[in-house]
Chain A
Amino acid sequence: MPSALYTIAYKPTKSVVALCSFEKRELSDAAAADQLLTELVGAGLPVPLSGSAPAIEIAASELGCDLVADPSPADFQGLLANPYRYRVNIDPEEANATTTPGDGKEKFLITAAAIGVSSIELIIGSPSSSTAHVVVTLTGAVTFPATARLLFDDRGPMVVQTTLEEKGITVSRVLVFELVDAEIKAGEEHHVMFFMEGAPVVARTLNALDPSDATEVAPRAVLRRRSPKPETKAPKKLRRPVRRKRPRKAIKARP
């Protein structure tokens, strides 16, 4: 039998997080797909971002395994170079088609380039607010409401939704994930994976920044008034404004 390409996708955003090709197997239903997923990743998919130890592990329950239609040679090369740019879809043309990774149906690969991630910063708490948070700055066609997820080290996924700007016309491009009960000191190294429909998966190792070094974030008052209720409710008191003090630093810089 010919070789076939299979993807492992993060179910909430259909984002491709791993792939493997081998002799074609029939995935008749979700049970068969789950069995193949277990064979390929076991209890979870480790994602190493620094050193040899896995920094983040995505639970198998959050993943779906699919047979995907053979991509074009150009897409295949792009997929191998950066699978995080792709997501699975049941329809090659209709990007918003309802798709469930791991349902046993053959999928198509489409790029997730409508939204870009310009920066991800980890900011420690200030004297007025002891909660650290991760700030994700987006570019492109950010919609409202849309859901974004963040995996932080070995924590469960954090969920926030996009918000409207102060005048309620434009969508904020800044997402804030608050790290409740986390004691993070400046300079510490932590690992994150960011997921959002329409955006590529971003996996990074971040150095925690002092608030005075961080990029500007949307004012808290706006967030408080306009934000719809998030799936995972975060304490609003920690969503405080952070003023830009100096030019933004690179995502990661090591001595």
Chain B
Amino acid sequence: MTGLLRPAFFEGQILGANDLNAHVTYDRLGSALHERTEHLWGVAAGLALAATPKTTSNGDRFVAVQLLPGRAVDRLGRVIVVTEALDVEPALFTDQIAVPNATDHYPLYIQAIERPRSATARPGACNTAQPATIEEGFQLSFGAPGSEISILDQDAAPVADGFGTPTAADKVVVGWVRWNPALEQFASVETSSEGRRVRYVGVVASEVVAQDGRFGVRTRPGGARFALTVAEDTAGGCELRFGKQDGNNPVSAVFTVDARGNITYQGTLSPLPAAQVNAESGVAFDGVRLPLPAGISEDQVSQGKVRIHALVSAIPVPPRSDLVGATAFPLVLRCALDDDRRVHCQIRWISSLDPQQFVDLPAACTYLLVASGK
């Protein structure tokens, strides 16, 4: 086993075709392995299906389909480049789909095809049938509905396969069409079928590092899109932000996390998390406002961010003999909180000799105060 062989030349060397081809092969293999190991195969740019509405002489509507220019990489790391819009002929469809129907979505594939080209005759040069260039071309094909499932699921060819051996399955899905059997024309173009979408190129990386403290992930190259950004600020902080973005305008702050872990969001949490609960308990005398649990502010209560639950219970007290000239027994008149969390606890001390003789006095209670986040 040897490593990759990089061609090297020396002065006076007689170069043969193999020497030059070895140079090209070295570069091609490096490019293919880069595509297969550091990226995920798929459409890199463009290659969208465009539908142009048409009408027959009878007034029936159909669409003419074009494949727009673009670039894709297949599972072997081969690059497919379409430099100009290409008409997709209905005949291509009818040649490949025997019995089409009007409801199914038929995938359209693009596949790399190499076409050797002979050298053009030049004055003074010998004519030869040997190819002097190889066109890195492509071909289009339709598949049966659902056939794209196995195509989309393919992994890139392993490094050990080198260039790999091209097969009929080395295709890239560029879209779907619906057929009008009566007109034998395309009815529409689609960008997805039953949840399956065009596969776009990706990046294989364990780390992605930004150069200037700002990093973003966007759902589209431009226009109206969604973005997830991580951006440092000049004060030494940082913010993770998700939201809509139009062009290069700032990302709307639908969801943010700052450097200290504070989360701000505009929507609702689903499912709702278990509410944070803080509690305070003790004893309190009539007239006292119950203190809020540690960490809970009056502003949070007044703004409705915290819900207060309270339980108060009068403290049992023994009879007294210093109030009505005889032993007086306690009767709890009231034990409650008002809206200001002020305790109202009163005991009526009733004479054991004359129930009509009594004294009402403030009293103490036990309390439990629970503050729960909404």
Binding site for B on A (CB under 8 A): 3, 5, 8, 17-23, 39-42, 45-50, 52, 54, 80-83, 203-205, 250-255
Contact = CB atoms under 8 A, between A and B. Distances in A.
17 contacts: A5-B283, A18-B362, A19-B364, A20-B283, A20-B291, A22-B281, A23-B294, A40-B288, A81-B320, A81-B364, A82-B320, A83-B364, A250-B351, A251-B359, A252-B359, A253-B354, A254-B356
A254 B289 contact: no
A83 B287 CA distance: 13
Contacts of B324: 250-252
A45 B358 CA distance: 23
B285 A18 contact: yes
B360 A49 contact: yes
Interface string B330-368: 000010000010101010000100101111111010000
Nearest 3 pairs between A and B by C-beta?
A: A21-B282, A18-B285, A81-B317
Contact of B344 (A52, A83, A205, A251): A52
Chain A residues touching B, majority SS: mixed
A40 B341 CA distance: 10
Contacts of A81: 315, 317-318, 320, 364
A22 B278 CA distance: 13
A83 B365 CA distance: 12
Given A20-B284, A205-B360, A42 B340 contact: yes
B348 to A, nearest CB: 10
Contacts of A203: 361-362
B97 to A, nearest CB: 77
A250 B325 CA distance: 7
A200 B285 CA distance: 16
B283 A39 contact: no
A228 to B, nearest CB: 30
Contacts of A250: 324-325, 351, 357
A46 B315 CA distance: 20
Contact of B356 (A3, A20, A41, A255): A255
Contacts of B320: 81-82
A80 B288 contact: no
A205 B359 contact: yes
B318 A48 contact: no
B232 interface: no
A246 to B, nearest CB: 16
Contacts of B114: none
B280 interface: yes
B102 interface: no
A80 B358 contact: no
Contacts of A251: 323-325, 359
The residue in A17, A40, A49 that gathers the most chain B C-beta atoms within 10 A of its C-beta is: A40
